[in-house]
A and B are shown apart, each in its own frame.
Chain A
Amino acid sequence: MNTNSDYPKRICATTGLPICRSAEFFVKANAVLGVVFLLIGGIAAILVALTRWQAVHLLPVDWFYRILTLHGINMLIFWILFFEVAILYFVSTTLLKVRLASRVTAWISLVMMLVGAVTVDVTILLGKADVMLSSYLPLLAHPAFYLGIILVAVGTLIAVGNYFATLYIAKKEKTYEGSVPLVVFGATAAAIIAVVTLLHGAVVMVPTFLYSLHLCAQPDPQWYRLIWWGLGHMSQQVNVCAMVSVWYLLATLTTGAKPLNEAVCRSAFVLYILFINLASAHHLLVDPGVSAGWKIWNTSYAMYLAVLASMMHGFTVPASVEVAMRGKGYVRGLFGWLTNAPWRNPGFSAFFLSLVIFGFIGGITGVTLGTQQINIIAHNTLRIPGHFHATVVGGTTLAFMGLCYYVVPLLWQREYIFKPLCRLQPYLFGGGILLMSFGMSFAGSMGVARRSWDIDAAGSIYGPTAHLFLGLLGIGGTVAFIALFLFVGLTVGTLLFGKRITGKAMSDWGTPKVLSTSSGHDHVAPAPGYAGAATVAEAHPTQGTMVLAVVFLLSFAVYYFANWKALADVWPVR
């Protein structure tokens, strides 16, 4: 019995779901702020990319390091955290049909996060925090830098608390029956990981802040690395969970896909919760002071259990799309389901490109570079940014852009402007990021360092090939920036000028029509010859996905062992 029904809400004209008015305000506020910081980080990105492209070499030396710091913090911390708070509020209140637990808490969180972020950005632009996102001691920034980050971390923690409170209310007032929807489960995994992340942030930043005020001794620099990466890497694992949840959501919205087996998907999220944070160790693989045993155990996520989880999601998500498409009658050959997928729908293209880029490029390079010994030939080279731009940008950011193509019309009740450009945007962004990532990875393999203003500053050490790859970095970065700017422009333009659809369903970006059904029912009909199957997964072959998955595994094996071979060629070292 729902005793919850007297909170202010409206019924969404497209989905029929109840949208809590309070939550709606905070979802919008956090999402808009997220996109603002995305734009700041994006402008910083193009400035940096055009400097690393040595032929252009745009910024002078001090501004390069300054803007690089600005880029890292605005992208990895501010854009991502604000948008994720929006996701948490959105999926909990809408999918569980419940009110947001506390408006006051949401306000406090929003103000803290915003004040903190602005403080950090101003401090950086004033030249008082040229320390990179990672701010490794003994490099020291102005106290306002640390204070700002503490405010953002605590503010986010409060928002996460608000999310858990909302879950609690929904359970107590029985606004839903049984288990929560899969997307909510994934968001909860993200929220849990966020708690661990932000606790590490507090532990590392508070003493450092006090030290910057000369109120205590300097924290040990190696300890700083250990705890900071608890904040730094674990926050990226929040992104992974949120991104995967968004994949499931977009798969449903764009193709009607349903999870093949809830136990598999949820178990994969549980493996994330328990083990994925151990991977922070892969930033310390060539560090002094921490042992080989510690490095090997943690960087393998305890025997790759979290990698297993990613591989599971990497199969079940496209497989669910394949099953849905075959159910609609797209059964031709191995890939008819894929070629007929709604590629013109930016929600679909963003989601699927995100999955492919994250898995093939981000995942394979990540596990490989995160091997203790292989890290010797990769640490602090451009191979590292080559990896994480594929995961956080080609993966998470692209998926979040795809989500906006649905959430903006649903919440603001306006149609996107210039739809043909919207349809193009995910391809432009994905393509640009891919090119940039390749440029970075190949330059890094030749030893080009990350975070360096000029590779020729001490004489010509690298050959022309390295410069070629830096050029690819520059071009790819330019394309990606144009696509990012396009996304922001289209989205902001929609908020201001989009055609109003108040009370009407949003127009379809393009979802595949049903070609044939075996009965009048809306359920997925079994493929010919499979009518006797006991489960959905058995009823519908997923050979297309299996082929893609095997190609993935083979690529993984080739890349992985090629790196071991490359390692074997360098000097013995212990």
Chain B
Amino acid sequence: MDNPWLLLALGIIIPSVSYTLWGWLELIYLKAAQLP
């Protein structure tokens, strides 16, 4: 817990992957509408 650099790294990686990257990928892979 005394290592701010480790906390900084984890603090950046975890939300960036779980929130940002995952959400971004879902948007990228969204299918096109089938408008008859």
Contact = CB atoms under 8 A, between A and B. Distances in A.
Contacts of A226: 20, 23-24, 27
Contacts of A223: 24, 27
Contact of B15 (A179, A220, A277, A291): A277
Given A227-B20, A294-B22, A289 B27 contact: yes
Given A167-B4, A179-B2, A266-B1, A222 B11 contact: no
A291 B4 contact: no
Contact of A222 (B8, B10, B20, B27): B27
Contact of A298 (B1, B8, B19, B30): B19
Interface in A178-204: 179-180, 188-189, 192-193, 195-196, 199-200
Interface string A210-225: 0000000000101100
A335 interface: no
A274 B14 contact: yes
B27 A196 contact: no
A188 B27 contact: no
A363 interface: no
B35 interface: no
A527 interface: no
Given A234-B15, A278-B19, A298-B19, A195 B27 contact: no
A294 B7 contact: no
What is the interface residue range for chain B against chain A? Answer: 20 to 34
Contacts of A193: 11
Interface string B11-34: 110111011101110110010000
Most A CB within 10 A of own CB, among B11, B16, B18, B19: B19
A223 B24 CA distance: 7
Nearest to A180: B2
Contacts of A230: 15, 19-20
Interface in A146-181: 164, 167, 179-180
Nearest to A276: B15
8 shortest interchain CB distances as A-B pairs:
A277-B15, A273-B11, A192-B11, A226-B23, A192-B8, A278-B19, A289-B27, A298-B19
29 contacts: A179-B2, A180-B2, A192-B7, A192-B11, A193-B11, A195-B8, A195-B12, A196-B11, A199-B16, A223-B24, A226-B24, A227-B20, A227-B24, A230-B20, A267-B1, A273-B11, A274-B10, A274-B14, A275-B14, A277-B14, A278-B14, A278-B18, A278-B19, A281-B19, A284-B23, A289-B26, A298-B18, A298-B22, A298-B23
Interface of B: 1-2, 4, 7-8, 10-12, 14-16, 18-20, 22-24, 26-27, 30
